[in-house]
A and B are shown apart, each in its own frame.
Chain A
């Protein structure tokens, strides 16, 4: 692909939270990632791997502990207060649970126009005239504008959320598990809708999810996270040739309906100590089938591998 300037770039971004008893939890460690205009980048990983923290850093809901977040050439990592308002316009977000973003007593039309009004793009009365068009854009009937959130299904609500995100023409739309709460049939429709909108409005997506197959279906490139680290980054088409041991384990763990050969999944032992171990070395090392002695002492960096993926693994260097 012909690489233009990235629209969004993370340079060595990290985020450390401090717990009540003073312990430090490094939720995101030294993450670097570039997102180009018009593409969809997927971030996958298991719960607690830091993928949602990255989402909250990009949207500047929380402050990074270190590193740069560059949006359209401008570092937004240390912006504060009123200056953030422009950032909030440029980056829109769609969450997992559509019910939680609606005020139960505000009509769908009001919800849809809030973004346009807040960012001063239109007055409320102007915006309300656009509601029918916005609903149509996401394949919903215009008469839903007068309904209340509880009168819509989860899939319909998620479409409304997407319409609002698109309405203010952001530079990046961040989709955090945006289809995970939906039933499979609805999920596929919403994914197809996202793809159509991406083409029509040349949108840029960051799609965060735990379901490898879903992320692969929509993303051009995939970043895999484990324990706060981006451990591998590659084109979606190359997922099958993943090199990092964790990505390989993820692939091995996905049940496919068509896999009637029943792939062999070895049973792992689990112990309390392993789970809570904070190592100096590679965080995946306690579970890694390919671990080297050196992995206990050194945390690998994301590097180009021989086959052109980026992977953070000592065994691949």
Chain B
């Protein structure tokens, strides 16, 4: 968190690293790499943003970290989560790790929900996989988790179908579910891109609150430089599968080194810019 400069893992005191990626590549059927020779690490309690335009490989990388690449994809290099090589883990170990130690929030959580089943039922199914609780205990836990993400009438939310909630509320349900087992690492794939700006601001605040309250390490994939700049300690910029620049957020914004990062920042339209003529 504190150190500046490019951090391709100094293996000395990396015991605190939650995620270590070194010379990591992902390609589909041996074609051109979707992720090409990427290296960076994430320390405990950090918020990292991976930014880039569409097709830059940022989401593919996130799926690689989760161990959820399609079968046609092959990966090379080192990817260590919590100090262990992901590819050396069995399917079962990976499954336990997802959920218990890491969780993900998608762009539109609603699309990953069963449309004809109430929120409460789906929440309980998720808890049942990982915890042995009585129905009452589960209900209590669900209400508590929803209230923590500022959904005040939790009972009603649990009784609702996904379509009855707004996008922002569904996203908060997604965060509550992802946080249910207190994962150490939270991955978020464009968590605010489907939301309106006022709601986006709320979800960003919510994610930051997770870190300050529970010390959760968060990796956010986003195309929104403003969001990345606001919430993260460090920013990783990707283009065509490569990492072109990694730096503490402030440094990257104010003194970008790479030409692509500069162009990207240049293209962003801001409220206090000159209007186009």
Give the contacts of A201-220 with B (CB-CB under 8 A).
210-214, 216-218
Task: Say yes or no: A195 contacts B198, CB within 8 Å.
Answer: no
Q: Is B84 an interface residue (CB 8 A)?
A: no
Task: Say yes or no: B276 contacts A217, CB within 8 Å.
Answer: yes
Please classify the interface of chain A as helix (H, G, I), strand (E, B), loop, or mixed, using the class held by over half of its residues: helix
Please classify the interface of chain B as helix (H, G, I), strand (E, B), loop, or mixed, using the class held by over half of its residues: helix
Q: Name which residue of chain A comes closest to B151, CB basis.
A: A270
Which of B89-97, B108-116, B179-187, B204-212 lines the interface with chain A? B204-212
Given contacts A184-B223, A272-B165, contact A195 B264 (CB under 8 A): no
Q: Which of B160, B263, B265 contacts A272 (CB 8 A)?
A: B160
Given contacts A192-B276, A265-B202, A270-B169, contact A184 B157 (CB under 8 A): no
Given contacts A192-B276, A260-B229, contact A273 B153 (CB under 8 A): yes
Task: Say yes or no: A257 contacts B225, CB within 8 Å.
Answer: yes
Residues of chain B within 8 A (CB-CB) of A218 are 275-276
Bound form: Cα–Cα A216–B224 in Å: 18
Bound form: Cα–Cα A259–B199 in Å: 19
Q: Which of B169, B227, B263 contacts A185 (CB 8 A)?
A: B263
Given contacts A183-B223, A184-B223, A267-B209, contact A253 B200 (CB under 8 A): yes
Shortest distance from the beta carbon of A183 to any chain B beta carbon, whole Å: 4
Give the contacts of B184-235 with A (CB-CB under 8 A).
196-202, 204-206, 209, 223-227, 229-230
Which of B98-106, B125-133, B266-274 lines the interface with chain A? B266-274
Residues of chain B within 8 A (CB-CB) of A254 are 197, 226, 271
Q: Is A52 an interface residue (CB 8 A)?
A: no
Q: Chain A 249-279 against B: per-residue CB contact (8 Å), 1 yes, 0 no?
A: 1111111111110100101111111010000
Given contacts A210-B196, A255-B230, A271-B151, contact A195 B277 (CB under 8 A): yes
Q: Which of A184, A195, A216, A239 contacts B268 (CB 8 A)?
A: A184
Task: Say yes or no: B153 contacts A253, CB within 8 Å.
Answer: no
Interface size class of B (residues with CB under 8 A): 35 or more
Residues of chain A within 8 A (CB-CB) of B197 are 46, 210-212, 250, 253-254
Bound form: Cα–Cα A213–B274 in Å: 10
Bound form: Cα–Cα A184–B196 in Å: 18
The 8 A-B pairs at the shortest CB distance, nearest first, are namely A255-B226, A46-B196, A253-B201, A183-B53, A185-B267, A271-B153, A253-B198, A253-B197
- 16 residue pairs of the A-B complex, CB under 8 angstroms, read A46-B197, A185-B263, A185-B267, A213-B270, A213-B271, A255-B201, A256-B272, A257-B253, A258-B270, A259-B229, A265-B201, A265-B205, A267-B205, A269-B152, A270-B152, A272-B153
Q: List residues of chain A with CB under 8 Å of any chain B CB.
A: 46-47, 183-185, 187-188, 191-192, 195, 210-214, 216-218, 236-237, 239-240, 249-260, 262, 265, 267-273, 275
